[in-house]
Structures are given as C-alpha cells and as structure tokens.
Amino acid sequence: MTPTQLRAYVAVVRLGSVKQAAAQLEVSEAAVSMHIGQLRKEFGDQLFSRTAAGLAFTPGGLRLASRAAELLGLQDRTVLEVSAAGRGRRLLRVAASSLFAELAAPGLIELFAKRAADLDVELSVPNPGSFETLLLTRAADIAIGPQPPVVDKAIACRPVMNFRLVIVVGPDHPLAGVQASPGQLRDQTWLLGPSAATDLGAVPAMLRRLAVPDDRQQIFQSHAAALGEAKRGKGVAPALSFTVAPDVRKGHLLLLAGPHATFEAVWHSLVLTNPGTPSAAAELSRFASTPRAIQAMMRGAGVSVGHFRPSVHVTLWS
C-alpha cells in the first residue's frame, strides 16, 4: 500500500468516478484503475462496484476510505512538521468559522502566539460543516466555531465563548428606533457576511428563525463590508454585540429592540482526543476559554505578521 495508491482511491471515493479522479490527479484512467486493482489485491476486497446510481462500497471499502484520508493527512502534516522543525519552528493549523475568524481570531492568535516564540499559526476558513472531517484527516489541528450537531467520539468539544448576535441599522433607516416584528424584519434587505452562506452558526440560525427569504439576503465578502452598507441605511445587518458597541455609542449604528432582534450563541473548540494531537492545539483549546483570551478576542487586536500566516481560501456561492 503506497501513498500514490491511497491518493487515487481517495480521489475516486470523493468524486465518484475513475475518470474524474484521473483528471484531478492529472494521470491516465488506466493508472488510477491500476492503483485500485493493486489495493483490491492487497486487501482481498472488491472495495467498491459500479451501479446505475454510482459507486457502491463494501464495508471494507468504506473503512479504507476513512483510513486513507487520515493517513494522507498525517503524511502531509509530517512533511510540514519536518520542514518547520528544520527551521526551528512549529506549525499550528487552525480552522475557524468566518464569523470567528474575522472578528475574534486575530486577538486570540496574537496573544497565544506570543506565548511561544517558535510557533507559527496558519488560519483557514472552511465551512463549519467540514470541521470534523478536517480534524479526523489531520488537515487541521484545531477547529473553532459553532458546535456540530453530532460530535464524533474521537473529538473533544469544549465551549470557548458565549456571544450575542444583534441586528443593527443605520440612523436613517425606517426601522431605527422601532421594535420591529418578525414580519417587518423578513421584509428588509439583509446585509450579510460570508457566514450566512453556511448551514451551521448563529447567523444562519437567526435567518432560519425569522424565515428570511433568499431574495432578501445580500452576502458580502466580509462582515465589515456588510456593516458598512448598514451604516449607509441600505438594510439591516446581524452583528456581534461587542464589535458594534463603539459604532452604537457614536450613533453610526442603532440596535433594533425586541426579542426577535437578538440571538445568543456559543463558539466551541474541537480537537482530536488521541495522543497524536499536537500539544499546541490542546493548549489553545484550553487557553481560548480563559478570561484573558476572551478579552483579547473582544478587543480585536491585530496579529503580528511573524506569527500569523493565513491561508487564502476562495468560496463561491450563488
């Protein structure tokens, strides 16, 4: 069993087609089929078969798919760790929801990275629904954001920070100073950050609770951009209460009143429970819920370039 064989198999599992797997790996279909054949021979298992509805996997094939992704993730991590160790550095890969990454992660990462001079932190912003997969395949060391509906037994989940989501408008908006009803809120133009494009999290939960139609939602590249439009009276915007407090004090934004205009939620940290979990990930999971860390997240301090190396991820939605 070789990494090349496992990569071919994982590609077939993910894409559901030998042809598409070959195109993604930039090899011939014959090469992918050969690697699959070698795995079948080694394990004495058909692994999967083709049906009219797609690929049907045997129990062994499903187990191999899970293990292969985990092994490849571990291999990639080992390459990174060895490379970083050669430079006298450690690398901590943090996956975070877009709301946490934009508005709370900078202060936390700066404060945590200062505790270890040899630590580099890489922040990525995937869909929160993929947190468990990223951890189990070793593509991330720790994930921070909304808690998954069901948490795998191999993952430890702990609360990090309680926060309040509020609805704000510009001072000239028609709803300014009004206790809006759910119907009035549904009829507004909603100015949203990228967190609204996912299924998990406080913002999509608020939108579902109010039954806001898709055609009333405008999604911007950042939550800050959405708030900028709200200040100009272009619509209503959900926001973290502690991030908009300065603008509310200055009168640039107004909080909408009423039970339908607030939403309480909690960010959680997730790490693997097995001994292979990097010590820095476990330490960050513990540290993130301390009063000092929470103050840093609410303060929103900038991050030193020497410690913070964000990954660039582009997400498209319609």
Task: State residue 23 phi and psi, 5-degree precision.
Answer: -65, -40
The larger pLDDT score, comparing residue 63 to residue 248, is at: 248
318 pLDDT more than 60: no
Q: How confident is the model at residue 314 (pLDDT cuts 50, 70, 90)?
A: very low
Nearest alpha-carbon partner for 270 in 92, 136, 143: 143
- Kindly indicate the confidence band of residue 83, based on its pLDDT and cuts at 50, 70 and 90: low
Residue 83 one-letter amino acid: S
Q: Count of CB atoms within 10 A of residue 240's CB?
A: 22
Contacts of 189 (CB under 8 A, 6+ apart): 216, 218, 234, 235, 236
Residues in the chain: 318
pTM: 0.68
Instruction: Sketch the domain layout of the chain as residue ranges.
Output: 3-75, 82-161+266-300, 162-265
CATH topology agreement for domains 3-75 and 82-161+266-300: no
Tokens of 188: 């507004």
Q: What is the mean pLDDT of residues 32-47?
A: 88
SS3 category, 219? strand
Q: What angle do CA 228, 233, 239 make, to 5 degrees?
A: 50
Please, are residues 168 and 298 in contact by the beta-carbon 8 Å criterion?
Answer: no
Cα dihedral sign, 74-78-81-83: negative
Cβ neighbors of 32 (< 8 A, separation 6 or more) are: 8, 11, 12, 18, 21, 22, 25
CATH number, domain 162-265: 3.40.190.10
Question: What string of H, E and C letters represents the secondary structure of 230-257?
Answer: HHCCCCEEEEEHHHHHHHHHHCCCEECC
Instruction: Give dist(CA 105, CA 60) in Å, integer.
Output: 40
Backbone angles phi, psi at 72, to 5 degrees: -70, -40
94-110 pLDDT, tens digit per residue, is: 999 999 999 999 999 88
Q: Quick one: what percent of the chain has pLDDT higher than 90?
A: 35
Residue 151 has a pLDDT of 86
Q: What is the pLDDT of residue 78?
A: 67
Alpha carbon distances (Å) from 311 to 94, 97, 125, 257, 277: 10, 14, 8, 38, 21
pLDDT at 315: 36
Question: If you average pLDDT over residues 3-10, what whole number do you get?
Answer: 86
The CATH architecture to which 3-75 belongs is Orthogonal Bundle (1.10)
- Chain-centre distance of CA 115, in angstroms? 24
Domain 82-161+266-300: top CATH class: alpha beta
At 49-76, the pLDDT tens digits run 777 766 777 878 877 877 787 777 767 6
Beta-bridged to residue 93, according to DSSP, are: 122
What's the mean per-residue pLDDT of the chain? Answer: 84
β-strand partners of 254:
169
pLDDT tens, 10-33? Answer: 888 878 888 888 888 888 989 888
Q: Phi and psi (nearest 5°) for 209?
A: -60, -40
Kind of pairing between the strands at 54-57 and 190-192: unpaired
Which pLDDT belongs to residue 134?
A: 87
Four-residue CA torsion sign, 293, 297, 301, 305: positive
Tokens of 276: 């292979």
The pLDDT of 115-122, averaged and rounded, is 79
Task: Calculate mean pLDDT across residues 167-184.
Answer: 90
Amino acid at 260: H
- Quick one: tokens of 277? 């979990």
Give the three-state DSSP class for 288. Answer: coil
- Per-residue pLDDT at 312: 36
Tell me the pLDDT tens digit for each residue of 190-217: 999 889 888 899 999 999 999 999 889 9
Give the pLDDT score at 54. Answer: 66
